[in-house]
Amino acid sequence: MKKFLEDINHSFKAGSSHTFLFHLNVDDAFLDDDDDVVKPESLNNIILKHPPFSNAKFILTFNLATGIKFVRPRDINVFLKEFDNVEAKELASYFKQNLEGTYLEAALGMFGLCLTMPNQDEGKPLFGIVIDNLDTIVPPEAVSSSCQIDRRAYTTLLSWAKDPEIRKSGNVIALITDNLNTLPARFKSETSEINICEIKLPEQTERQEAYEFAKKDSDLSKEDLAADVFGKSSGGMSVKAIINLVREQALRKEPVTSSILFERKKKFINERSGGLLEIQRPLWGVEAIGALNEVKAYLASVAANITAGSQLTRLRSR
């Protein structure tokens, strides 16, 4: 299990947080072997496959494109049957009316009802709520926006994070965004009680695993970089970028060489930094010696003499 998954589960079980904000600075995939089959997973999927979200009886997601969705479609009928009683008529009615809608206010209203309902199975959430593309729901200017919906979403999400009734109920919330800088400042403040989880680029072992995973589906070449060398040399690249590189080279029937890796890594980092960073190839041979001009000149003359001697030997042998 990834460390950030262990951290959020520990924080949830300890009762220190029930709202988690996940942010990626680059679209990426995660290698997961939870089902004994290693495969790349999206951030959303890997969160939902591990505690505390995997322990929730019902997991509902929302973004402006898809509206309210159950992660497990079979749960819809169970949900409606379980809550179709006098106490929960409002919730069941809300859901029936808004299942196919993409309205933000409807989702927030329904989720607000869900989050305060406790589970009879102590220690496990009744509801796991996942709100994706958070920056499209709560823009940076939401706090002073003339749009009432923006302001309501802003205050609702912040109030959920501090709500003692939600914490007592044992339910859990995930907010997901690509970039933390696109959110209002309050979401990044410790006083919001939102647990911020930065998803960092893969470590060396993860990059090596991604390379080995991608190469399973392609023909091996003697010219391909060894997995350990690739892992050491690919720092700054994402899992998805590594997998794409290997698959593209396999399609071209060309090996993954150090030169190819360098160029792809350079392109990836340059794009990710918005052009603010540029990777330059290190100097090799006598150029790497530095400012020792006399030594470099001497070595160059030695190399020239060896070359001239080799040419003279070939002429004499004729």
Per-residue model confidence (pLDDT) at position 286 = 47
For the stretch 2-11, contacts whose Cβ atoms lie closer than 8 Å and that sit 24 or more positions apart, written own/partner, are: 2/30, 2/46, 4/197, 4/198, 4/199, 5/46, 5/47, 5/50, 5/51, 7/197, 8/52, 8/195, 8/197, 9/50, 9/51, 9/52, 11/195
Higher pLDDT, 183 or 290: 183
Per-residue model confidence (pLDDT) at position 170 = 93
Per-residue model confidence (pLDDT) at position 156 = 94
Cβ neighbours for 125, distance < 8 A, ≥ 6 positions apart: 52, 53, 55, 56, 57, 119, 170, 171, 172
Q: Per CATH, which fold does 3-199 belong to?
A: Rossmann fold (3.40.50)
The pair phi, psi for residue 67, each rounded to 5°, is 75, -155
Higher pLDDT, 161 or 182: 161
Per-residue model confidence (pLDDT) at position 80 = 74
Domain 204-272 in this protein, CATH class: mainly alpha
Per-residue model confidence (pLDDT) at position 317 = 52
- Max avg pLDDT among 33-47, 65-79, 252-266: 252-266
Confidence of residue 130 (pLDDT cuts 50, 70, 90): very high
Q: Is the pLDDT of residue 285 over 70?
A: no
- Rounded CA-CA distance 101/96 in Å is 10
- Percentage of the chain beyond pLDDT 70 is 78
Q: What is the mean pLDDT of residues 53-71?
A: 90
Averaged confidence pLDDT in the chain: 81
CB 100 within 8 A of CB 65: no
Q: What is the mean pLDDT of residues 72-89?
A: 70
Confidence of residue 34 (pLDDT cuts 50, 70, 90): low
- Rounded CA-CA distance 184/162 in Å is 17
Positive/negative CA dihedral, 200, 205, 211, 217: negative
Per-residue model confidence (pLDDT) at position 315 = 46
Q: Is the pLDDT of residue 282 over 60?
A: no
Q: What is the mean pLDDT of residues 29-33?
A: 76
Per-residue model confidence (pLDDT) at position 251 = 87
Question: What is the residue whose two structure tokens read 């980092």?
Answer: 269
Give tens-digit pLDDT for 192-218: 999 999 888 888 999 999 999 988 877
Per-residue model confidence (pLDDT) at position 74 = 83
Q: What's the 3-state SS for the chain? A: CCHHHHHHHHHHHCCCCCEEEEEECCCCCEEECCCCCCEEECHHHHHHCCCCHHHCCEEEEEECCCEEEECCCCHHHHHHHHCCCCCCHHHHHHHHHHCCCCCHHHHHHHHHHHHCCCCCCCCCCCEEEEECCHHHHCCCCHHHCCCHHHHHHHHHHHHHHHCHHHHHHCCEEEEEECCHHHCCHHHHCHHHCCEEEEECCCCHHHHHHHHHHHHCCCCCCCCCCCHHHHHHHCCCCCHHHHHHHHHHHHHHCCCCCHHHHHHHHHHHHHHHCCCCCCCCCCCCHHHHHCCCHHHHHHHHHHHHHHHHHHHHHHHHHC
- Rounded CA-CA distance 129/175 in Å is 8
Exposure string over 139-151, b if 16+ CB within 10 A, otherwise e: beebeebeeeebe
Tokens, residue 222: 């003697």
